[in-house]
Amino acid sequence: MTDYSKLSQKLDLDTGALTPELVNLILKHMPLDMSFVDENDAVLYYSDTPERIFSRSPAVIGRKVQNCHPPASVHIVEKILKAFKAGTKDTAEFWITLKGRFIHIRYFAVRDKKGAYRGCLEVSQDVTAIRSLHGQKRLLDWE
């Protein structure tokens, strides 16, 4: 068990505190892909999970997000970012079938407490199994 009182480096969050190591572990275990682009359209972060849907490499860090998309979709990226920066929209979502999987893609404007645009969070998730759920499952069935 971790003795959190002895941790010298922690990140104070609105609802708790975590070490950078724990933040990284949590992000690596999320069952979705995340990318964050700052207010200047530079890619600052992407999650690196084993189930990553859209491949990324460390070379994208610091690049303009427009240079990370196929030319045929750059105009859509520009439209989303323009609306987020103008404050006229806060979300955009798409869903596609890719290699037999149903992928849900969402973009969120990230704003500070004063409402200023700070960037865009892209979240992609394979929801194939979620879409097939029906009824209820209220008991654990690990056996």
Query: Residues 63, 77: contact at Cβ < 8 Å?
Result: no
Tens of pLDDT, residues 37-76: 999 999 999 999 888 898 888 999 999 999 888 899 999 9
- Contacts for 43 with CB less than 8 Å, ≥ 6 apart: 35, 36, 37, 60, 61, 62, 63, 64, 65, 68
pLDDT value, residue 54? 86
User: In Å, how far are 11, 40, 87 from 14, measured between CA atoms?
Assistant: 10, 25, 24
CATH topology of domain 31-131: Beta-Lactamase (3.30.450)
Domain ranges of the chain: 31-131
pTM metric for this prediction = 0.87
Query: Residues 49, 125: contact at Cβ < 8 Å?
Result: no
Tens of pLDDT, residues 4-30: 555 568 999 999 999 999 999 999 999
pLDDT value, residue 2? 57
Q: Are strands 91-98 and 43-46 parallel, antiparallel or unpaired?
A: unpaired
Tokens of 74: 């750059």
